[in-house]
Structure 1
Amino acid sequence: MNMPHLVLSFKTFVTDVKEGFVEITRHGLALFGLAIVLVTLTFSVRPDLQATASGALLGWLQIRQSENQEPTPQRDAASRSTAKDMQKLTPPQLGVTRWLSRKYRVSAEPLGAMVAEAWSLGERSQLPPSLILAIMAVQSRFNPFASSNPGQVGLMQIELQAHTETLAQFGGNLSAFDPLTNVRVGVRHLQGLMQQTESLEEALALYGLASGFSDEGQFVNRVMAEQLLIEKAAE
């Protein structure tokens, strides 16, 4: 076979393939258009099928999106934690926080939040912050999940049954396990006892009895001794 004849045969082959591809494409588009028309007519007659198909498509897209996305950590966890930046504490608060952290083997940051809260409550309640912290130390050793007697829970060992109405203002009895809520309710309870008695010692004795201390004097002495140590740490 000579070269001109070979070239002519190749051109004929290319032309046939091109015409065949165009013909197949034209028929394919026609079939696709016909399918679109049939689906549209079906959906117009059966709206329920359209809703089902839309739901299935949406579900598939959501699954694909979730598969393609990598899990990301919660970025608001730090804002929900009960902790305090040590640089935001005053010098007395910082000294107390470090001393209590070493003594009770509690992390400084969450303990710093309790110390700052004691200072804030002290200003509003006219109670020494050192006294509030001393009660926490004796009652729970700064364990927010401590429980001495049945129903006595948290940092200040408040009695759930006796403070149900107060805890309802914070969301219910489970709020007693929130450290800040527990301290606020405990301080409010101590204020109420002080109004019923003639001295702070008597109010503390009643507080100790409600928390399960059988010896009134023991609880008062332990709180007072702890308070003196905390005041020295603040200096």
Structure 2
Amino acid sequence: MINRFTGLAPAARLLAIGPAARLGAQRITLRSVFTTAQHALTIFGVTAIVTLAVLYARPDLARALSQSFVQEPVATMPPAVVSAPPLHELMEAPAVQTVADNKALSAADEKALLGTRKQQQWVTDWLSKRYRVAGDAANMLVSTAYITAREIKIDPLLILAVMAIESRFNPFAESPVGAQGLMQVMSKVHHDKFQELGGVQAALNPVANIRVGSLILKDYVTRGGSVEAGLKSYVGAGAFETDDGYGSRVLAEYNRLKQVSAGKKVPTFTRPAAPAAPVTVTASAKPVAEPEPPKPEAPVEPELAGL
């Protein structure tokens, strides 16, 4: 039967209004989803702000939280295959450990350990200021020098002095003749010493460069019989009469480092002394005639003196 007001049968009217009703229901559902998402984001933002405020007010909690996030992946990460020792192992040398970690040490050993730690800290701070090296980087380089020196039996301050003069603690320095890294090692000449450390590609690795350079330095000092002779050979002037002051500069820096390690106040800026101008004599140079002495003035006649 047809409804006289709508002109449609009841079944047809239901079919006609069905899609519109379904579309309205869908719009209501989407609006609900968006509203829920907006509320969730608002709650998340407020929570983040509150968390940041708490961490700002409690820096100890922030440090503990950051350490937990940093240490957990390292503990579960498989050991990587590297050519040189990892840099983080350099900070775990006995010279920088705490006395609590060395319970078997005697009282004398504990005192020596504390003294070594103080020396390293003084040297690190001084080198960081003098050569404008970041504190963490300077700490790593100084620790590497002390570890290497202990292993190969050489003074760590001599290693650091050579590094200072050779590269000013720039691990990527390279000379026109091919000397590379912190200690300016000729990797092409000493390639055999880099084999255990990953090949000549490791010449710019600070750990490998310090180790190989220290081995070369010790070998030259042993064969030369003195530090001066070893430095002369290290700079490549073994066959020459002079090393152009290289050894003097290294030893001057070494003496400054010794004073720093003893707790003395040493200026971080030192003005280099101006070298004397060399006198060059060539075959075509003619001797310069000495100036004649001034002639004595003629005596003034007595009768002319009163004029």
User: Which TM-score band (shorter chain)?
Assistant: 0.5 to 0.7
Residue type at the aligned position of 1:11? A
CA contact (8 A) 2:158 2:254 kept: yes
Matches within 5 A, 1:200-215: 200-209=227-236, 215=242
- Which stretch shifts more, 195-204 or 126-135? 195-204
Which residue number in structure 2 is paired with residue 199 of structure 1?
226
Q: Alignment partner for residue 152 of structure 2, among 121, 125, 137?
A: 125
Cα distance in 2 for residues equivalent to 1:220 and 1:15: 102
Deviation of 1:2 after TM superposition, in Å, equals: 8.4
Read off the aligned partner of 2:125 and give its amino acid letter: R
Cα drift, residue 199 of structure 1: 2.0
Conserved 8 A contact 1:205-1:217: no
Q: Which moved more, 1:182-191 or 1:167-176?
A: 167-176
CA distance in 2, matches of 1:175, 1:116: 19
TM-score after normalising by structure 1: 0.62
**Counterparts of 2:155 and 2:210, CA distance in 1:** 14
The change in CA–CA distance for 1:5 and 1:105 in structure 2 (over 3 A counts) is closer
Q: Specify the alignment match of 1:107 in structure 2.
A: 134
CA contact (8 A) 2:131 2:168 kept: yes
- In 2, distance between residues paired with 1:229 and 1:101? 14
Where do 5+ consecutive residues of structure 2 fail to align? Answer: 19-72, 75-81, 98-116, 264-307
Q: Which residue does 1:164 correspond to in 2?
A: 191
Once residues 210 and 154 of structure 1 are traced to their aligned partners in structure 2, the CA distance between those partners, rounded to angstroms, is 20
Q: Deviations over 1:178-199 (max 9, x none)?
A: 1111111101111222332222
Q: Partners of 2:241 and 2:16 in 1: how far apart?
A: 106
In structure 2, the CA distance between the partners of 1:215 and 1:109, relative to structure 1 (3 Å rule), is farther
Q: Which residue of 2 aligns with 1:221?
A: 248
Deviates more, 1:198-207 or 1:109-118: 198-207
Counterpart in 2 of 1:140?
Answer: 167
| Partner secondary structure for residue 189 of structure 2 | helix
Q: CA deviation at 1:5?
A: 8.9
Q: Could you tell me how far apart the structure 2 residues matched to 1:195 and 1:182 are?
A: 20
Show the counterpart of 1:36.
none
Give the whole-Å Cα distance in 1 for the aligned partners of 2:11 and 2:2. 15
Q: What number of residue pairs does the alignment pair up?
A: 173
Cα distance change, pair 5–219 in 1 and its aligned pair in 2 (3 A): closer
* Deviation for aligned residue 1:147: 2.1
Larger RCO of the pair (alpha carbons < 8 Å, separation 6+): 1
Shift of 1:17: 10
Q: Assess, with a 3 A threshold, how the Cα gap between structure 1 residues 14 and 210 changes in structure 2: closer, same or farther.
A: farther
Question: Per-residue displacement from partner, 1:11-37 (whole Å, max 9, x unpaired)?
Answer: 35547999xxxxxxxxxxxxxxxxxxx
Residue by residue over 1:48-86, the C-alpha shift from the partner in whole angstroms, topping out at 9 and shown as x without a partner, is xxxxxxxxxxxxxxxxxxxxxxxxxxx99xxx996888x
Displacement of 1:4 after TM fit? Answer: 9.0
1:39 aligns with: none
The SS at the match of 1:161 is coil
CA distance in 1, matches of 2:198, 2:192: 10
Contact 2:3-2:9 within 8 A present in 1 as well: no
The answer to whether 1:94 aligns with 2:121 is yes
What SS does structure 1 have at the residue aligned with 2:9?
helix
Q: Percent identity?
A: 31
RMSD between superposed Cα atoms in Å: 3.6
- The TM-score normalised by the length of structure 2 is 0.48
- Once residues 2 and 154 of structure 2 are traced to their aligned partners in structure 1, the CA distance between those partners, rounded to angstroms, is 114
